[in-house]
Amino acid sequence: MVNKFNTEDRKIILHELEKIQKTKLVQIKPSKKLYKDESGMIYLIFGGRENWHGISKNIVETLKNLKRDGVIIIAKKYRSKIDVCAGPLSILIKDLYNLPETKSKGYQFHTVLTEDGMYIEEIEDLYLNKICEIHYPGYTKNLERLKQISKIINIEVENDREFTHSDIQAKLLLIGSYLNYRTYTPDRSKNSIYGLLGDLCTETVIPEDYIPPKQIDTIKYIDVIWFDEEGFPTHAFEVEHSTDITKGLLRLFQVHKLKIKMYIIANSSNRKKYEKEIKKTPFHKIKDSYIFKDYSELDDFFRSVKEFNKIQNNFLQDKR
């Protein structure tokens, strides 16, 4: 569980912003969210572990009276770090009255995380870029899982064996885990040449903290997903072994707003079919967001991980 955003966290954010902007930030009292720098530029700073924030009636009135250019800062708190994102305050002010109103006559909005920032669900034109990560001291990663994955990766497989859909999923899970991603598949009960898929992935249930509720029912059925250490989805893979590529494209299309990297993994003979399908509606709108990789490319990646693992183990063995 992530602790609540507190006064110390706010001090850390202010200190980091002052370093980035090379200026001093002064609080516009009585609000704890409003600041201005030495040039008079306004900073509206939100912080928290949740994906929604509120703007009080008093802040709205202050912003109207100030009539100055500024920046909206949203600091997203995780277990090990704080991500700091920034965007133009002018767009928020312009669309302020389109936000849902609170009981206290203020406003609220919801953020949707992407790989390099976030956007505000209620304001399409407002995107905030991640400007820095602040890591808490003393955080360490558990490497025990990595040792287990290393052993499985080195299992020798017959060269002429025909791989199944589950075998391909297994390779993606093993690569992801070795690269220190958290991994998930909905097909936990299926077996592969490397073992039960449920034993190969790190997550027993899909991490939901950073996925919009509306998209949970879609993303949890994607063949393989990689998450960063905090639980944000970074890579989604649809394996089209004997199924229709269109279904995989559609499932990925439904989560494309997460700015997740989206892969179709299929036999090289399906590349032409893929190239034809992404020109159709609705896929053509985001065709550059899709990535096609064939089995040989995945095999090359898997072999490179396997070779690196052997080199790493040989180099690090405790022999004199």
Residues 6+ positions from 9 with CB-CB distance below 8 Å: 47, 75, 77, 82
Residue 150: the pLDDT is 79
- Per-residue pLDDT, 75: 96
Structure tokens at 154: 């080195």
Report which secondary-structure segment, H or E, holds 216.
helix 213-219
pLDDT the model gives residue 164: 93
With beta carbons less than 8 A apart as the criterion, state whether 225 and 216 touch.
no
The percentage of the chain sitting over the pLDDT mark of 90, rounded to a whole number, equals: 64
Three-class SS of residue 305?
helix
- Confidence tier at 143 by pLDDT (50, 70, 90): low
Q: Where do the domains of the chain lie?
A: 7-135, 144-315
- pLDDT digits 0-9 by tens, 194-211: 999 999 998 999 988 778
- CATH class held by domain 7-135: alpha beta
Q: How confident is the model at residue 119 (pLDDT cuts 50, 70, 90)?
A: very high
Residues 6+ positions from 37 with CB-CB distance below 8 Å: 21, 23, 24, 25, 26, 43
Residue 153 CB coordination number (10 Å): 20
- Of 265, 313, 317, 294, the C-alpha closest to 154 is 313
Residue 2, CA distances (Å) to 67, 79, 269 in order: 36, 5, 46
pLDDT digits (tens, 9 = 90+) for 236-259: 999 998 768 999 999 999 999 888
How does pLDDT run across 67-102, given as a tens digit for each residue? Answer: 888 999 999 998 788 999 999 999 999 998 889 999
> How confident is the model at residue 81, as a pLDDT?
87
* pLDDT confidence of residue 141: 55
The mean pLDDT value of the chain amounts to 89
- Return d(Cα 239, Cα 190) in angstroms, integer: 14
- pLDDT reported for residue 145: 67
> For tokens 């020109």, what's the residue?
279
Q: What is the band of 2 on the pLDDT scale with cuts at 50, 70, 90? A: low
